A and B are shown apart, each in its own frame.
Chain A
Amino acid sequence: MEIAFLIEKVAIVVILFVVTLTIAAYSTLAERKVAAFLQDRVGPDRAGPFGVFQPLADGGKMFFKEETTPNGANKWLFIAGPSLALLTSFLGSAVIPWGQSINFFGRIVPLQVTDINVGILYIFGVVSLGVYGIMIGGWASNNKYSLMGAIRGASQNISYEIAMGLSIIALLLCTNSLSFKVIAEQQHGINWNFWYQPLGFLIFLVCAFAETNRVPFDLPECETELIGGYNTEYSGFKMGAYMFAEYINMFVSSAVMATLYFGGYNYPGMDFVNLHLGPTWGPLVGVAVLLGKILAFIFFFMWVRWTVPRFRYDQLMNLGWKILIPLAIANIVVTACVITFFDKF
C-alpha cells in the first residue's frame, strides 16, 4: 500500500511538472502570438506549422548563448537568484486540486499532490518567497538598475500582498476553510465563489498582476526605465530561468484564481457527465475544464499586457495602499455583516 501511495504521488508530481513546464514554454509562444494578433500581425510562424516549435528554438537559443557574470557580482548569489525564482514558482502548484478523486483501476486517487489544511497560507508563503529570487538576483548583479528593480519588486510585492490577503479573508468568511480541496468541493456545479465575492475577486486579480510582475505592474523589469531591472545583467540560461519563472508564476496564479473564485474543476452539468462517463473519465473532464479556465486566465493576463500601459511608481503605491486595502477591508466588513445578519452561506 505504501509503495502504491508513493508511486501515485510521484506520478502526479511528474505529470504536474511536465504540464507546468509545457504550459510555461508555450506561454512564451502564446504571448508573442497574442501580441501579434492584437496588433494586426501574425507573430512567429516559421518554426513548424504556425510556429509550434518556436519554444524549442527559443530554448535551444537560451542554452547556447554565452553566459556572462559581471565582474563585481557575487558569484553565488548571482546563481541563487534565478534558481530560487524558478524553485518557488514551481512550489505553488502542489496544493491545487486538479480534479475530483479519480478511480484508477479500482484505486481512488486524489488529483492533488497534497491536501494541506492550510493550503491558502502555504500559497501565500510560497508567493512571498518568490520575491527573494528577484531581490537576490538584483542585489547580486552589482548594478544600480538591477538593484532599483529589485527594490521596486520587493516593495511592490509586500504592498500588494496585504491587499491580496485581505481580499482572501472575505473569501474565507464564506468558505470557512483554508483547504483548497474543501473550497473546490464547495463550489459544486456553478455555485462559484465569484458570485459571492465579485469585489474580492477584482482585488485579488489586480494583486495577482502585481505579484507576478506583469504589465501594468511590471515596474521591477521596466525595460524603458531600468533596462530590464533585476535581470539586466543576466544572460543565457539564467535569463531563461527568470523568464520561465514569470510564466510559471502566471500559470500558478491563474490556477489559484480559477480554484478560489471560478470553481476549479467544477462546471455546470458535472453530475450528469460524471454519471455517464463513470468515475475514471468524468473527473478527467473536470481536469480539462480547469485547464481551460487556467488558459483563459493566462490569455487574460496577456490581453491586459498588450492593452494597458505601465503604471507610474507613485500610482502603483497609491492604488495599493489607498484604494485596494480600504476596499478590501470594506469588503470584509460587508461580507461579515451579511453573514451575521442573514446567516447566509
Chain B
Amino acid sequence: MESLSGRKKVLEQKPMNFWERIYLPAIFKGMGITFMHMFKKKETTYYPEQEREFSENWRGMHSLKRDENGKERCTACGLCALSCPAEAITMTSAERQKGEEHLYREEKYAAVYEINMLRCIFCGLCEEACPKEAIYLDGPIVPSEFLRKDFIYGKDKLVELSITDLAAQKGVLA
C-alpha cells in the first residue's frame, strides 16, 4: 500500500550469509560481551547497611506531623481513611480535655491511629486528602518483620518525635 506519511520503512530481510548461519561467531561475540560485564561496576546496593538515594517524590513510611509548637496536627476527621483505596487506615477519635491543649491542636484528636503497612500501597492519597497537613509519606522504607501483627503501625511509630523528645534523644547522644 502507498504510504501516506512517507515515513514507512520497509524492513530489509536478507537471507543470512554463511557465517551468520553457522551461528558460532554470534555466540562467541555474545559470550565476549557477557564476559566483559564480569569486570563492570556492580549495581548492587547492600541494602540494610547501604541505602539507595531516594527520588524527591519518593513515598515511604507515613509520619503524623506536629505543628510548630509540638502539638499533634491530626484532628481525626477520617478523611485519610475514607480516601484510602486499600482501607489501610483506622482510627478512634477522642475529645481534648482541659489541660491537654499543649498536646493536641484541635478539640478532637486521634486517640488511636493505625495504618496496616501490609495493606498500604503507598499511593499517597491520604497525604493529599488531609485538610490539616497532618500526614506525610516522607519516611524510609518500611522494614520487614516476622509477624503480620507487627506491620500494624500505631501512633507510637507514626507520630513524629516532639521537640522535647528530640532534645532528650540529643542529650542522650551528646
Contacts and interface: CB of A to CB of B under 8 A. Distances in A.
Interface of A: 37-42, 303-304, 306-308
B44 interface: yes
B27 A307 contact: yes
Interface stretch (B9-17, B28-36, B69-77, B99-107): B28-36
A303 B31 contact: yes
Nearest to A43: B44
A303 B41 contact: no
Indicate the size class of the contact surface on chain B. Answer: 10 to 19
Interface in B35-52: 35, 37-38, 40-44
A303 B44 contact: no
A6 B168 CA distance: 76
A307 B41 contact: no
Contacts of A304: 27, 31
Contacts, number: 32
A303 B42 contact: no
Given A37-B37, A37-B38, A303-B35, A42 B30 contact: no
Interface in B87-136: none
A41 B35 contact: no
B34 A303 contact: yes
Nearest to A46: B46
12 contacts: A37-B37, A37-B38, A37-B42, A38-B34, A38-B37, A40-B37, A40-B43, A303-B31, A304-B27, A304-B31, A307-B27, A308-B27
B27 A41 contact: no
Interface of B: 27, 30-31, 33-35, 37-38, 40-44
B44 A41 contact: yes
B42 A40 contact: yes
B31 A307 contact: yes
A38 B43 CA distance: 12
A41 B45 CA distance: 9
Nearest to A306: B34
Given A38-B34, A40-B42, 4 more contacts: A37-B38, A303-B35, A307-B30, A308-B31
A40 B40 contact: yes
A250 to B, nearest CB: 17
A307 B27 CA distance: 8
Contacts of B33: 307
A307 B38 CA distance: 12
B41 to A, nearest CB: 7
B39 to A, nearest CB: 9
A37 B35 CA distance: 9
Contacts of A306: 34
B26 to A, nearest CB: 9
A39 B27 CA distance: 17
Nearest to B22: A323
A306 B38 CA distance: 12
A115 B37 CA distance: 43
Contacts of A41: 42-44
Contacts of B30: 307-308
B44 A39 contact: no
Residue from A40, A303, A306 with most neighbouring chain B CB atoms (10 Å): A40
A42 B44 CA distance: 6
A308 B26 CA distance: 10
A303 B38 CA distance: 10
A292 B44 CA distance: 29
* Closest A-B pairs by Cβ, 7 of them: A307-B34, A42-B44, A38-B34, A37-B38, A307-B31, A307-B30, A40-B43
Contacts of B44: 41-42
